A and B are shown apart, each in its own frame.
Chain A
Amino acid sequence: MRFGVITFPGSNGDHDALMAVEMGLGQPVELVWHTETDLSRFDCLIIPGGFSYGDYLRAGAIARFAPVMESVRAFAEAGGPILGICNGFQILTEAGLLPGALLRNASLSFECAWVFVRVENDRTPWTQTLAPGTLLRLPIAHGEGRYYADTATLAQLEREGRVVFRYVDADGRVAPEANPNGSLNNIAGVCNECGNVVGLMPHPERAYDRLVGGDDGLRVLSAVLRVGVEVASAPRGIGNGYGDR
């Protein structure tokens, strides 16, 4: 499967994503410059972390106007698997490809740590091999990762089962202490209606090798391989209340 990793000015997780796919998955991957418009050669896309355009104005707010984003939108509409990581998640919410927003951490400071997340939804191309309830240990590194959505949207996301990852403690329980940034409902990642576009704050692309802390991230990145070139199309309204508050 051919991976494309989009590089905006200020992206700094692009190289890690490249390494994770190359060293961790052994799949073909290339960096895509923000001015490119033809994405037809890729089977899936990663929007990496970093500080696109310096995160000036608002994290991800300027990147969404980059020329490549029109093609990303088309890729999403055609059902192509897209994973937005950290700043990539922020860009996808700014671009309206994912619901909600990412606000400044509740601590008001940058947080770098390893956290546990629980897989809530296996109907996305990025989690289809992971049973709901699976625990993953992944690094976070962000200053603006507090997931927020208005009450109606949040209820809809929960109802439709579109929360993909939730911050939990080492025993898999949703607890306030396990929430590193104050995200609503401990949300670490969500997907779009079709499930093919997933965004999350933790960094699976930094967790592909036990030598540097863990390899749980590979389980997310490798899940997409099952898609092959086929378009993922999750049915709508799959919610059954994975939320457990």
Chain B
Amino acid sequence: MQVTPEILAEVALTEDEYRLIVERLGREPNAVELGMFGAMWSEHCGYKNSRPLLKRLPTSGPRVVQGPGENAGAVEIGDGLVAVLKIESHNHPSAVEPFQGAATGVGGIVRDIFTMGARPVAILDSLRFGPLEEPRNRYLFHGVVGGIGWYGNCLGIPTVAGDIFFDPGYSANPLVNAMCVGVARRDALVRARASGPGNLVLLVGADTGRDGIHGATFASVEDPEKSHRGVVQVGNPFLEKLLLEACLEALESGCVVAMQDLGAAGLTSSTAETAARGNVGVEIDVAKVPRREVGMTPYEVMLSESQERMLVIVEPSKLEVVEAIFRRWELHVAVIGRVTDDGMLRVLDNGRPVAEVPVHLLTEAPTYIRDGTEDPEIAALRNRDLATLPDLARSVDDGIGAGEALLALLRSPNIASRRPVYRTYDHTILTNTVLAPGEGDAAVIRIKGTRLGLAVKTDCNPRYCLLDPYLGAQHAVAEAARNVSCVGAEPVAITDCLNFGNPERPEVYYQLSRAIEGMAIACEALEIPIVSGNASLYNETGGRAVLPTPTIGIVGLLHDVRTRVGLAFAGQGAVYLVGPAEATLGASEYLARLHGLTAGIPPSLDLELEQRVQRAVREGIARGIVLAAHDCSEGGLAVALAESCIAGEIGGRFEVGTLVEANGGRIDRALFGEAGSRVLVQVAAESESTLVALLRGYRLPYLRLGETAGDMLIIEDLLRVSLRELAAAWTSGLS
């Protein structure tokens, strides 16, 4: 075969990589083989740039049952059960066709969970868009939200949490990260490991079409807009629902050796990965693959990314039982090949060999360690002096006052009520939702038949990560953990989704490597293992990368789900700020909203203090002292107070003199400055002394802010706004 630069470009391999393939293979690959290498050696499948860095992440811990390397991670949660979790990006498809891109993102992540033998119990979505003022961004936003709801609602899995952030840096490249959490019996967990030469390879579910060919490669190059819609897959949630039930039934029957879903790079990656994990070979005949289109070549069949397909390995004697289960669910089953003992991935077309490659060559993509350097423009933004900015006015006549600033922040799409989004997601199905979207810092679902509860959330403040990727990634981990702690749950596992630009550029590689280092440090300090994850690089257009976005998906454990608390102030009580008094305007939402600036040094983070704050909050909740808890994040203290007031439909009178003092006399920093390790807690009057003793026991800084009552939010003489006005602003931001 004559290999031209055009051919290499189509499969997204460099000339050096091609030479490496020839060298390792001992011959030139044919066209089918080259396509398979292109997909498997893409960043999406092969993690060429991220793998060396990912080694840094802590992946073990006493609860870890399954770390990275399988379809999803798993941690022990007691009662013989495990929580199974995974997050994955679908950024590139969503940029081209937002509805189907997001929908198939949900479909893919749900398959990753039930492939492990776990019943999916919650879906989360972490989304990033450019400002909604631009019509294109509105189209993407509505399309993505519509696609997530369409798919998840039909599947009957509640979409319970997530996060959304808007910034001009995402205008050309929106981010769609979908996470799924499942529950399985520990002893029923399955791995996608082919074994037993002679065992049969089955393809189950949808027929194979030409959709999504080169999807994995497409997700690993820049500028999604330039590519074709043809690489975006179309989802069928109805079929996935049948596949979900049938696969769980088949796994429950004990007749399945291994199961692997077909995602990026379709049959190529699913056969290669199951074979590699089991240290065996696989031989398949593409002529036996049911098609939805005529005239498909072996190349197309091997690289199709048609959705809702599953690879199932069974012993020949169990074939009948397994086939019967899938037939009952009206799903196609085709025996397409068998497991071999020669370590080769052999592809036949009606018996005629069309590809034959050692499995390990496909799964062992070359890795690159690059040099990173910080973009001096970003360094300049970070070093900007914010002390020269005018403070908020004490009286209305002197300029913008605190009340006006608070309303502006509540209207910010980054802070405003998410109800317009989550009302379109079914979040009550399965009757496990104890804390629904909007009710707590994390969603809480119960596990029927036990006292256990799971708290789930995604987080990442990309502005912090832009200005300091190391610190920003630490914050992402700390805030995610704080959010589950605020409902009373102990953080037990993280799944991460690394969304960055082109790693071949030193400025991007710097962000990627620093963010991973920051995540590792924070996870070690807070003792939370990372059990699964995904890297999505090349999120950039025209040399402009997205904000570095290491999304953290987290699962927390409640030993007794009945102890959970929400963020809504529950009637009258005293409100305390637990954590540091000092905040900063650096990288804050206030600075972006009110001054149009993304600049300054993000808040510092003392991970040891963070750990103590979270432990104290969890203990206060478990002991029933704390009535409500809410993390202070974007928008700072005043926004957190307003949110808990709005949710609890009660006002309050608060004092912040000490805070203003601690913040250099600045009102803006005291009210809207941001800081890590801060939690608002509400307690009943009779529990105040107990709370104080608890906080002192943990050697924590704290402040008594005031009491809840009435229907006005009053902060000294600085701010006086009615609940009605607060709620009107807060509910208008996204609608």
Residues in A with CB closer than 8 Å to B237 are 51, 54
B424 pairs with A212, CB closer than 8 A: no
Chain A nearest CB: distance from B292 CB in Å? 16
Among B153, B329, B428, B446, find the residue whose CB has the most chain A CB atoms closer than 10 A: B428
A12 pairs with B428, CB closer than 8 A: no
Chain B 345-404 residues near chain A, CB threshold 8 A: none
State A209–B427 Cα separation when bound (angstroms): 16
Residues in A with CB closer than 8 Å to B430 are 15-16
B154 pairs with A112, CB closer than 8 A: no
A54 pairs with B431, CB closer than 8 A: no
A212 pairs with B426, CB closer than 8 A: no
Number of interface residues of A (CB under 8 A): 33
Chain A 106-131 residues near chain B, CB threshold 8 A: 109-114
Chain A 188-245 residues near chain B, CB threshold 8 A: 203, 205-206, 208-209, 211-213
B426 pairs with A141, CB closer than 8 A: yes
Chain B 241-271 residues near chain A, CB threshold 8 A: 241-242
State A97–B112 Cα separation when bound (angstroms): 40
**A12-B429, A54-B237 given as contacts; is B149 within 8 A of A110 (CB)?**
yes
**A12-B241, A206-B431 given as contacts; is B562 within 8 A of A112 (CB)?**
no
Residues in A with CB closer than 8 Å to B154 are 10, 12, 51, 54-55
State A55–B155 Cα separation when bound (angstroms): 12
A211 pairs with B424, CB closer than 8 A: no
Residue from the list B149, B238, B434, B562 in contact with A10, Cβ < 8 A: B238
Among A110, A111, A139, A212, find the residue whose CB has the most chain B CB atoms closer than 10 A: A212
Residues in A with CB closer than 8 Å to B426 are 110, 112, 141
Chain A 6-51 residues near chain B, CB threshold 8 A: 9-10, 12-13, 15-16, 19-20, 23, 49-51
Residue from the list B156, B239, B242, B432 in contact with A212, Cβ < 8 A: B432
A213 pairs with B436, CB closer than 8 A: yes
Chain B 417-438 residues near chain A, CB threshold 8 A: 422-434, 436
Chain B nearest CB: distance from A141 CB in Å? 4
State A114–B423 Cα separation when bound (angstroms): 10
Chain B nearest CB: distance from A22 CB in Å? 10
State A9–B434 Cα separation when bound (angstroms): 28
Q: Does B448 contact A (CB under 8 A)?
A: yes
B431 pairs with A110, CB closer than 8 A: no
State A10–B153 Cα separation when bound (angstroms): 11
A20 pairs with B431, CB closer than 8 A: yes
Chain A nearest CB: distance from B435 CB in Å? 10
Residues in B with CB closer than 8 Å to A205 are 431
Which applies to chain A's interface (DSSP): helix, strand, loop or mixed?
mixed
Residues in B with CB closer than 8 Å to A110 are 149, 153, 423-426
Residues in B with CB closer than 8 Å to A203 are 428
Among B156, B427, B448, B561, find the residue whose CB has the most chain A CB atoms closer than 10 A: B156
Residue from the list A12, A16, A19, A112 in contact with B423, Cβ < 8 A: A112
State A54–B427 Cα separation when bound (angstroms): 19
State A205–B436 Cα separation when bound (angstroms): 17
Q: Does B608 contact A (CB under 8 A)?
A: no
Q: Does B663 contact A (CB under 8 A)?
A: no
**A9-B329, A54-B154 given as contacts; is B238 within 8 A of A206 (CB)?**
no
Residues in A with CB closer than 8 Å to B149 are 109-110
A211 pairs with B429, CB closer than 8 A: no
Residues in B with CB closer than 8 Å to A19 are 431, 448
Residues in A with CB closer than 8 Å to B446 are 211-212
Chain A nearest CB: distance from B241 CB in Å? 6
Residues in A with CB closer than 8 Å to B436 are 213
Q: Does B236 contact A (CB under 8 A)?
A: yes
Residue from the list B238, B241, B433, B448 in contact with A56, Cβ < 8 A: B238
B428 pairs with A206, CB closer than 8 A: yes
Q: Please name the residue on chain A nearest to B155 by beta carbon.
A: A12
State A211–B447 Cα separation when bound (angstroms): 12
Residues in B with CB closer than 8 Å to A20 are 431
Q: Does B330 contact A (CB under 8 A)?
A: yes
Q: Please name the residue on chain B nearest to A205 by beta carbon.
A: B431
State A209–B449 Cα separation when bound (angstroms): 13
**A16-B429, A112-B426 given as contacts; is B153 within 8 A of A54 (CB)?**
no
Residues in A with CB closer than 8 Å to B330 are 9
Chain A nearest CB: distance from B447 CB in Å? 12
Residues in A with CB closer than 8 Å to B429 are 12-13, 16, 49, 141, 206
B238 pairs with A212, CB closer than 8 A: no
**A9-B330, A111-B423, A112-B424 given as contacts; is B241 within 8 A of A211 (CB)?**
no
Chain B nearest CB: distance from A63 CB in Å? 12
Chain B nearest CB: distance from A174 CB in Å? 22
Chain A nearest CB: distance from B522 CB in Å? 33
Residues in A with CB closer than 8 Å to B239 are 54
State A139–B432 Cα separation when bound (angstroms): 13
Besides A12-B429, A51-B154, A206-B431, 4 new A-B residue pairs in contact (Cβ under 8 A), listed by A number: A12-B241, A49-B429, A112-B423, A213-B436
What 10 A-B pairs come out closest when comparing CB atoms? A12-B156, A54-B238, A141-B426, A51-B154, A139-B428, A110-B424, A109-B424, A112-B426, A10-B238, A16-B431
- 15 A-B residue pairs with Cβ-Cβ distance under 8 Å, sorted by A, are A9-B330, A10-B154, A12-B241, A20-B431, A50-B156, A51-B154, A53-B238, A109-B424, A112-B425, A112-B426, A141-B428, A206-B429, A211-B446, A212-B432, A213-B428
